[in-house]
C-alpha cells in the first residue's frame, strides 16, 4: 500500500457544480500514489472540529500533482461548509491517500454511483477505459441536478436514474439496469447502503462479481478508533469479531464479504 502523507495542500481552485455540491482541486503529494477508490482526510482550521473530514477522490492528475475532490456540504457550521469557503492559493492540511482502491478488472465493467457516491467512480471509469475496457456507467440522482454526468460520457455509455423521474429511469439504479437490459462481467458500486444492498442482490442473482465502496462516517481514517466498522462474513483479525474497519480495510470490498 502506498505511504500516506500528512501535509499542507495548496488549493488550485474550487467551484460549486450543483446544489450543495462542490469541486475542490488540491496540489498534493498524495496525487503521485493515489488510485481510484481511495480517499483523503481533510482537516479543518477551526480547532473545535477535532476530526478530519474523509472525502473520496474524484480525479487524479499525476502529471500536475493534483487531486479533485467532489463533496456535499452537509449543513451550517459543519466541516464541509468550512472547506467550501476555500479559494485558490489557500492551504489546507490533508492526510492521504487512504484506504484500498478498486481492482481494475473486466472487459465489460459496469460502474454504479448514487448521489455523492458518483464522484469516486469517475477516476475508475477513466482508468478502466485507459486499460481497454468497454465501460458503462449507471448514475443515480435525486433530481435533474446531474453533477459530473457529462464527464462520464467520455469513458463509455451513461444511463441515468432519478428519484423524481425528471431524467432517465424513474426509480433506482437497479431499475435503470433492468429497463435498459444492461449486462456486465463485473460491477463496481458506490453510494448509500440501501443502493449497495440492492446492487449486491442483483449481482448475486446474475452471478456477476461485485465490488462495493462503503460510505461511512469515519473518524481517524487510519483504522485505530474502530468508529467505522461494518459487519463481515468472516472474523476480523484485529477485533476478533464479525466486523472490519471501512477506512483501513476498505472502503472497497468484495460485496459478498460484507453485510449490507
Length of the chain: 260
What is residue 236's predicted lDDT score, i.e. its pLDDT? 54
Instruction: Give the model's pLDDT for residue 227.
Output: 45
Contact indicator for 209, 188 with CB cutoff of 8 Å: no
pLDDT tens column, 57-68: 999 999 999 999
Render pLDDT for 87-124 as a digit per residue (tens, 0 to 9): 999 999 999 999 999 999 999 999 999 999 999 999 99
In order of their start, the domains of the chain are 5-98 (2.40.30.10), 102-214 (3.40.50.80), 216-260 (2.10.240.10)
pTM higher than 0.85, yes or no? yes
Q: Are 212 and 218 in contact (CB under 8 A)?
A: no
Nearest residue to 175 (alpha-carbon basis) of 132, 205, 140, 204: 140
Burial 219-231 (b: 16+ CB within 10 A, else e): bbbebeebbbbbe
Q: What is the mean pLDDT of residues 199-215?
A: 95
pLDDT digit string (tens) for 163-174?
999 999 999 999
Residue 224: pLDDT over 70: no
209: left (phi over 0), alpha (psi -120 to 50) or beta: beta
Amino acid at each position: 500500500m502506498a505511504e500516506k502523507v500528512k501535509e499542507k495542500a495548496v488549493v488550485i481552485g474550487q467551484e460549486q457544480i450543483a446544489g450543495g455540491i462542490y469541486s475542490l482541486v488540491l496540489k498534493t503529494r498524495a496525487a503521485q500514489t493515489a488510485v481510484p477508490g481511495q480517499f483523503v482526510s481533510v482537516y479543518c482550521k477551526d480547532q473545535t472540529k477535532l476530526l478530519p473530514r474523509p472525502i473520496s477522490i474524484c480525479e487524479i492528475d499525476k502529471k500536475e500533482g493534483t487531486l479533485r475532490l467532489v463533496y456535499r456540504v452537509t449543513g451550517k457550521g459543519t466541516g464541509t461548509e468550512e472547506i467550501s469557503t476555500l479559494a485558490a492559493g489557500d492551504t489546507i492540511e490533508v492526510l492521504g491517500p487512504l484506504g484500498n482502491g478498486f481492482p481494475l478488472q473486466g472487459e465489460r465493467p459496469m460502474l454504479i454511483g448514487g448521489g455523492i457516491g458518483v464522484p469516486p467512480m469517475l477516476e475508475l471509469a477513466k482508468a478502466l477505459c485507459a486499460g481497454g475496457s468497454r465501460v458503462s456507467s449507471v448514475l443515480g440522482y435525486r433530481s435533474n441536478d446531474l453533477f459530473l454526468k457529462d464527464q462520464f460520457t467520455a469513458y463509455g455509455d451513461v444511463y441515468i436514474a432519478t428519484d423524481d423521474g425528471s431524467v432517465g429511469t424513474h426509480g433506482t439504479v437497479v431499475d435503470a439496469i433492468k429497463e435498459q437490459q444492461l449486462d456486465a462481467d463485473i460491477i463496481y458500486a458506490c453510494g448509500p447502503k440501501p443502493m449497495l444492498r440492492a446492487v449486491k442482490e442483483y449481482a448475486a442473482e446474475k452471478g456477476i462479481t461485485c465490488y462495493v465502496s462503503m460510505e461511512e462516517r469515519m473518524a481517524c481514517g487510519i483504522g485505530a478508533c474502530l468508529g467505522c466498522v461494518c459487519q463481515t462474513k468472516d472474523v476480523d483479525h484485529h477485533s476478533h469479531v464479525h466486523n472490519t474497519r471501512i477506512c483501513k480495510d476498505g472502503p472497497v470490498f468484495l460485496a459478498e464479504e460484507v453485510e449490507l
